[in-house]
């Protein structure tokens, strides 16, 4: 199949008439009408572009500046048909590649989302639930290890601690754990529980109390954290992610230190709102069970609210027990307003002894 065309080399503006011949459906032979009668052979599969301009077919070939060929007639139709077929195949391949790329990107995004969900939600949730499987003896050993860190690093008020423990002995509490309270000499307004029954109370909060009912409220709150294993659940939840990461990267020492490293965080342990509400409500129940006016819980929360406003540099307890106004509202609705509670002279006497010991520091 032969026809004619007009060729331009892309370097000069000169154009040459030429004869065209299509061989094997993809090799275009171009016979230039010049002094040398040059022959050019183009593989139409490698054309840069091929488009119709009216009745003419404009073809570009080679690197920039492109060679150009303009032709008409049957050979133009054959060239365009052969090039279009190949171009459609390339577009289909490109579309398939794009689909595969999109699928890979979607899969990668889903993997990242699921990994983040597992890392920040699923694994901590599993860690919290796994806390229920820990034997009490193991929990107590963990608590002793953590407690030893605080007793070694802080100035303990053993005299006040003695009377607080006597105070505890005169309360009816769940006997699952042996409750042991230690008093830390510090201006911090704080108290916290560690797994297994150990409770630490700062002398700063004891100094601000005005009644033994407030101390019963505080102890009831912290005892609930112990009995309901809130402390253990929180530490397992916090440590679970670190343990999994350490396992993936083969950091055995990271696994062993994953739990113990949380010890310093107990005095600033951030319980969820639900756990705090549970500790408040159960603390009130403990007070009623011991025939102690539960208004002491409300007084304690009001004290904490007041201290947070007047002495923010002393406040630790509120930062770890959030939303005090909401807690006050909850406790107010749970109080036994019509009940009357007699003075507990034993607790009142022990409370005075505790105040005496912390005031002497």
**pLDDT the model gives residue 315:** 41
- Render 28-68 in DSSP notation, one character per residue: EEEEE-STT--EEEEEGGG-SEEEEETTEEEEEESSSSPEE
pLDDT in tens, 236-284: 776 666 655 554 544 444 444 544 455 445 555 556 677 888 888 899 9
| Terminal alpha carbon distance of the chain | 112
Is residue 197 included in any domain, yes or no? yes
**pLDDT band at 322; cut points 50, 70, 90:** very low
For residue 8, give the 3-state DSSP assignment.
strand
Residue 310 has pLDDT above 60, yes or no: no
**pLDDT band at 313; cut points 50, 70, 90:** very low
Domain total of the chain: 2
Examine the fold and report which residue of 42, 63, 81 is the final residue of a domain before the chain moves on: 81
The DSSP code for 175 is: T
Examine the fold and report which residue of 55, 81, 107 is the final residue of a domain before the chain moves on: 81
Residues 198 and 298 in one domain: yes
Is residue 98 included in any domain, yes or no? no
**pLDDT the model gives residue 334:** 58
Residues 180 and 275 in one domain: yes
Residues 168 and 30 in one domain: no
* Mean pLDDT over each residue of the chain, to the nearest integer: 79
**CA distance to 6, 11, 23, 337, per residue, from 18 (Å):** 6, 17, 16, 109
Cis peptide before 76 (omega within 30 of 0): no
Residues 142 and 71 in one domain: no
Residues 142 and 44 in one domain: no
Instruction: State which residues form the domain around 156.
Output: 134-359
Residues 191 and 52 in one domain: no
Tell me the mean pLDDT in the region 36-50. 88
Task: State pTM to two decimals.
Answer: 0.60
**Greater pLDDT, 285 or 90:** 285
Is residue 99 included in any domain, yes or no? no
Residues 167 and 265 in one domain: yes
Contact criterion met (CB below 8 Å) for 277 and 327: yes
Residue 32 has pLDDT above 90, yes or no: yes
Is residue 124 included in any domain, yes or no? no
By DSSP bridging, strand 180-184 and strand 198-202 are parallel
Residues 246 and 138 in one domain: yes
**pLDDT the model gives residue 75:** 87
Residues 146 and 245 in one domain: yes
Residues 61 and 167 in one domain: no
Is residue 103 included in any domain, yes or no? no
**pLDDT the model gives residue 311:** 42
């Amino acid at each position: 199949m032969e026809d004619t065309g007009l060729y331009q080399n892309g370097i000069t503006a000169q154009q040459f008439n030429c004869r065209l011949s299509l061989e094997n459906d993809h090799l275009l032979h171009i016979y230039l009408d010049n002094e040398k009668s040059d022959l050019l052979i183009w593989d139409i599969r490698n054309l840069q572009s091929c488009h119709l301009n009216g009745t003419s077919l404009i073809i570009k070939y080679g690197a920039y500046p492109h060679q150009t060929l303009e032709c008409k007639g049957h050979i133009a139709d054959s060239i365009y048909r052969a090039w279009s077929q190949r171009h459609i195949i390339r577009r289909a391949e490109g579309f398939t590649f794009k689909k595969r790329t999109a699928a890979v990107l979607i899969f990668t995004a889903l993997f990242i989302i699921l990994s983040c969900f597992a890392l920040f939600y699923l694994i901590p949730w599993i860690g919290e639930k796994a806390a229920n499987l820990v034997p009490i003896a193991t929990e107590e050993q963990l608590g002793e290890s953590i407690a030893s860190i605080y007793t070694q690093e802080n100035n303990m008020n053993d005299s006040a601690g003695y009377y607080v423990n006597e105070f505890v002995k005169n309360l009816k509490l769940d006997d699952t754990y042996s409750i042991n309270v230690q008093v830390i000499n510090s201006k911090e307004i704080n108290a916290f529980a560690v797994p297994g029954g150990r409770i630490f109370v700062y002398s700063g909060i004891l100094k601000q109390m005005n009644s033994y009912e407030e101390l019963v409220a505080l102890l009831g709150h912290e005892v609930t954290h112990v009995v309901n294993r809130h402390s253990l659940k929180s530490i397992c939840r916090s440590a679970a992610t670190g343990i999994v990461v350490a396992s993936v990267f083969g950091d055995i020492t990271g696994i062993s230190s994953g739990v113990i490293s949380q010890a310093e965080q107990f005095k600033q342990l951030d319980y969820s709102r639900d756990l705090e509400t549970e500790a408040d409500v159960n603390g009130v129940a403990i007070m009623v069970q011991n025939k102690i006016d539960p208004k002491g819980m409300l007084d304690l929360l009001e004290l904490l609210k007041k201290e947070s406003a007047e002495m923010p540099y002393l406040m630790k307890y509120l930062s770890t027990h959030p939303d005090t106004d909401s807690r006050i509202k909850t406790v107010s609705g749970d109080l036994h307003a019509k009940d009357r509670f007699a003075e507990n002279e034993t607790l009142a006497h022990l409370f005075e002894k505790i105040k005496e010991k912390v005031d002497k520091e």
